[in-house]
Structures are given as C-alpha cells and as structure tokens.
Structure 1
C-alpha cells in the first residue's frame, strides 16, 4: 500500500469520524438524520421537487416521496405547484423547519468551536483554517 493510499484511507476515516461526532453533538430529536439532511437541502438551496431532492440525496424518487410526505405531515414542509410545470410540486421549508435546522446547526457549531478551542493551539487553529478551502475543493469535486 502506498503512502497515497494510506493518506486517502486516513482522510476518509477521519472525515467519517468527525461527521459522526458532529451528529452526536446535536441529536435529531423525533426526526431521522435522513429527514434532517433533506430539510437542510431545502433551507440551504431553496424549493425543490421530490425528484430534485432524490437526486441530491442519491435515493430513489419513491423513497424521497415517503420522506417528504412524513416531513409534510410533521409540519416541516409545504408544497406549492411549480410555476413552470403545474404537474410538479416544489417543496419549501416552513418556519418551524427553519428554526429546527438553525438550532441543530448551532449545536453542532458550538461543539466544534469548543472542541477546536480546547484541543488545539493557536497555530494549530490557523492550520485548520488554512485547510478549509482545500477540503471545500475536495467536497465540491
């Protein structure tokens, strides 16, 4: 195994572990993490159809339809006819959804800020800041 292979495996492992730690810092409450992810897409990206959401999450349209129906029943989403194609429905987050996502993000941010401040020196914190654009490019690839 080359150094490159080991580095890729280590990076994948570390990113996965960090993701799990962030999820642990802000339990989703009565919703599942897959539901929270769907709500996050809508809050971040705006109104979407079930097909667009399914594509964004990499799931089947039928599965996303069930997820959207449960979120709509929970008062997290509202559907409106698409302006260009009235046969389609575009879903938008409700105010309750926006508040839930904001609170969830705040909990995760607080955990991350406290962890960075208590575990890293000022120089290490600067290194982390410098790595963000690189990780962003990797994520956007």
Structure 2
C-alpha cells in the first residue's frame, strides 16, 4: 500500500475541481442522494431506508490523500492495488469488506476509469447492472 506519491512524482491538490468532478459523476447516476456522513460528502444509491453508500469522499481522512472510497466486486481490491498501488489503496474501516480507495490528488487521473469504478459501485449497491444510457 502506497501512503505517499511514488518517488519523483509530486502530489498536487486535486482540490475543489476534483471533488466537483466526482460529484457530477455520482449525481449522473439514477436515484442518487448526496449527504454528509462522517464529516465527508457521501453519495447514496436508492431511496428511503434502502439507500446505501456507494461513494464516500476521503478528504485527507486520517492520511495525506484526497481520495474516495467505494465498494468493489470480490477480488477487485486485490487486483487494483496490485496493478497500481500509487492510485489504489485499501481504505481504513471498510477495506476489510473489499472497498477500494482511489486517489484524486495525483496528476493525469484517468477520469473515465473513475467513472467506471463509480458506476460499478453504484450497480453493486443498487442492484442495477451497467451504466446509464
């Protein structure tokens, strides 16, 4: 697990622009509600009592990263953290349940990949397959 940017790569503050872009990606999905949970913007899929968290912002939440956490399919956490440990990490509190952490504070972030991960997390908790058309 990489706690800091790799040698030779300076972190940058993805800041408000990255958070707004993540917000737009989450809100583009069906039946999404944004609320503050545990002091962070959090996006819920579904309505009423059936609403479940599918993305939680982690704005330097117990570490030096601007990131988001989301549930992932079985085995995805291990695959992603092995594939790109500078971008993906096992988040505290929910990592043991297979959630994945995704850094938003690295340059040249692949936003299409972020969209796919968010859509997959939404589908996982809402029972909806695929991205909206």
The TM tier, using the shorter chain, reads: under 0.3
Write 1 or 2 for the structure with the bigger share of strand: 2
| Higher helix proportion | 1
Q: TM-score scaled to structure 2, two decimals? A: 0.26
The higher-RCO structure (CA 8 Å, 6+ apart) is 2
* TM-score, normalised relative to structure 1: 0.25
